[in-house]
Amino acid sequence: MQFKRITICVALAFAPNAFAAEETLPEVVVTAPSMEEPLVVTTNPRKPRQPIPANDGAEYLKTMPGFSVIRKGGTDGDPVFRGMAGSRLNILLDGEQILGGCGGRMDPPTAYIFPSSYDKITLLKGPQSVLYGPGSSAGTVLFERNIVRRSDSGVGIEGSLTAGSFGRADVMGDVHGGTPDVYGRAIYTNSRADDYKDGNGVSVHSKYSRWSGNAAVGLTPNDSTRVELSMAKSDGKAAYADRGVDGSKFARDNTGLKVDWKNTVHGLVDKIEAQLFHNYIDHVMDSYSLRAGGNPAGMMAAMNPDRTTTGGRLIGTLNTTETTQLKLGVDTQSNVHTARVGAAPGYMGAYTLKPRVEDANFQNQGIFGEAVHQFGEETRIIGGLRSDSWKAQDKRATISTGMTSQPNPTVNQTRNDTLNSGFLRFEQNIISNTGTFYAGLGHTERFPDYWELISKESATTLSAFDTLPEKTNQLDAGMTFKQGDVSASLSGFYSKITDFILIQSNVNKGTAMMPRMTTISRNVNANTLGGEASIAVKLAPEWKMDISLAYVRGNNETDNTALAQISPLEERIGATYDNNVWSVGGLLRMVAAQDRVAINQGNIAGQDIGRTDGFIVLSLNAAYRASKGILVSAGVDNLTNRVYAEHLSRSGAMVSGFTQTTRVNETGRNLWLKANFKFD
């Protein structure tokens, strides 16, 4: 293991004990909560964290062991879990799927997620559930809001204010209230930051601004029934250091309807859940809005893709016997992608005056069942099966090949595939029920997504519409343990992937005299193995230590090389002192060098650039409860102002007024202050 770059963060505070012990100070999260049940990790996105994440879903997930982010700028990176990105990691917002529009992954689904507007984030590792949609070979992430029927009438307010270096300013407000029979909730978030500087004082083209509004009204006429109508709107702008255009619009419009019924007496039917949703994404990328002075009029180009995603699900929970519970359900999803290209508004050929042209559409219908059978109190088996019917249409008449366009060889072709998934897992309570051992086998078949099927070429033709579905067989095993002042977890996996969809860039599809470099999709066979481990120990009444480790190794069996875009070995050590009024915490993050690379190969979000050195980051933070409902926390990230970049960072692009770097470097010295408040 090699560690070469060092970053130190410090924030200290001391004060006398001013509150009763039962008013426990919520800790600043420096390592993610450990896995307390097999393959499941949950965390509260409203707690302050260090290092402070950008206000999007990917940067928040990066603080959890096993996750990395493909860095593009200050926000909107792509999340990677266990070396897997894109649709291999299913992202759901209150049960809804949201799909971005940009063919270059400027707006992954997590770009439209404001973590602090949710109450809970749950990670389900591996293909060990069939309840949350197709694919999910790496895992599933659930961003969820909690709704509990009120016992009386009332109103509650919760929120946070954040200020930091480089113009960082965040606001989050959550107002909720109602009676036992009806409720309402409104959440608003607003976040912005200027271009940050790396450890050399070099500015990185990375500024952003974003806002979101969510509203929900619901009926809870009794303890067993809920009907909720929800709406959401959001928008933003983001500068990118890895390409020649920025994102000047990230508009999302959402409408959702949920109906839940819970049986309050024992019976065959335990619960019924129904959901419908509609998501519309309107995205603009251009070369002038966020670049100093813009570009000459002839170069003021813009691209405006959009995507409409509609879907729903119906699931019933049945108590088939006293020891067996079965969940049966169906879900459906359809999405349509269109695009238009032109000049900036006010110029001839402005994109806003052009019609939107559909280039692809996808449909999926799934049927699934998942059961838990209990053998006594200590042993259980969980298993599930899923079948998905897929349909995709290629609507592109032509395909751009740089300065020209050529006829699309797969225009108006339709693909129909039926793909199956399933898993079986054994769980056994051990060590006098203080721990659980588990082992499971999972199989999933993943249909190629838009970025693999439509926005790329194949190795032999202009279209990748014939790319094969990806098939993953994975073994997951591990254990959890919790007794007294010690808790620990261990999760390991081995995955065999047939027809892995590899994205390879800089492929010469021209001639020696007239080369044409492009990016293609192709199928290879691959395998990955690794896992995560964590332990938390309470050393004394006021002292706690956490350690976590994450490792993945990938192999491209077809090319006999390393599998690209695999994060290096990472270890985190956290320590916290907490006297119920003040807390001081520290995080030591150690990332090893990554020598196993496959240059110009990777996934839909990025390809390997080359090897990277390791680095060490030391962070310290402090927090103070000013009153029962107010928590103030502070920290300094990268105190020594050192220069470093993550392995999965994208290449730095030539941006006017900025220095080009090999990778998009991480932030230099960064101070932040956050206040959380809650009043009921």
Instruction: Say how many C-beta atoms besides its own lie within 10 A of residue 247's C-beta.
Output: 25
Q: What pairs with residue 497 in β-bridges?
A: 472, 526
Identify which of 281, 295, 318 has the alpha carbon closest to the alpha carbon of residue 656: 295
Identify which of 647, 680, 635, 485 has the alpha carbon closest to the alpha carbon of residue 552: 647
Given the DSSP bridges, would you call strands 120-125 and 246-262 parallel, antiparallel or unpaired? unpaired
| Residue 74 pLDDT | 93
Tokens in use for 507? 């492929």
Distance CA(98)–CA(210), nearest Å, equals 17
Distance CA(161)–CA(237), nearest Å, equals 20
Q: Nearest 5°: CA angle at 623, between 622 and 624?
A: 135
Judge whether 569 and 1 are in contact, CB under 8 Å. Answer: yes
Identify which of 254, 205, 262 has the alpha carbon closest to the alpha carbon of residue 234: 254
CATH fold of 5-147+154-173+182-193+205-286+306-339+356-600+614-623+632-679, please?
A: Maltoporin; Chain A (2.40.170)
Buried b (16+ CB within 10 A) or exposed e, 410-424: beeeebeeebebbbe
Distance CA(53)–CA(62), nearest Å, equals 8
Judge whether 234 and 281 are in contact, CB under 8 Å. Answer: no
pTM of the model: 0.94
Distance CA(244)–CA(246), nearest Å, equals 7
Instruction: Say how many C-beta atoms besides its own lie within 10 A of residue 122's C-beta.
Output: 14
| Residue 11 pLDDT | 32
Judge whether 302 and 283 are in contact, CB under 8 Å. Answer: no
Tokens in use for 381? 């088996």
| Residue 293 pLDDT | 59
Judge whether 573 and 546 are in contact, CB under 8 Å. Answer: yes
Judge whether 634 and 49 are in contact, CB under 8 Å. Answer: no
Chain centre to alpha carbon of residue 482: 28
In 3-state terms, what secondary structure has residue 424? strand
| Residue 26 pLDDT | 57
Distance CA(567)–CA(596), nearest Å, equals 10
Distance CA(270)–CA(317), nearest Å, equals 5
Residue type at 117 in one-letter notation: S
| Residue 29 pLDDT | 78
Mean pLDDT for each consecutive 10-residue tract of the chain (680 residues)? 35 32 55 81 89 88 93 94 96 94 93 94 96 94 92 94 96 96 97 96 96 97 95 97 95 97 91 98 94 62 96 97 96 97 90 96 98 95 98 96 91 98 97 94 98 95 97 98 94 98 94 87 98 95 94 98 98 92 91 97 96 92 90 90 93 92 94 93
Identify which of 318, 415, 410 has the alpha carbon closest to the alpha carbon of residue 361: 415
Tokens in use for 148? 């509990």
Domain assignments of the chain as residue spans, ordered by start: 5-147+154-173+182-193+205-286+306-339+356-600+614-623+632-679
DSSP string spanning 293-330?
A: T---GGG-EEE--EEEEEEEEEEEEEEEETTEEEEEEE
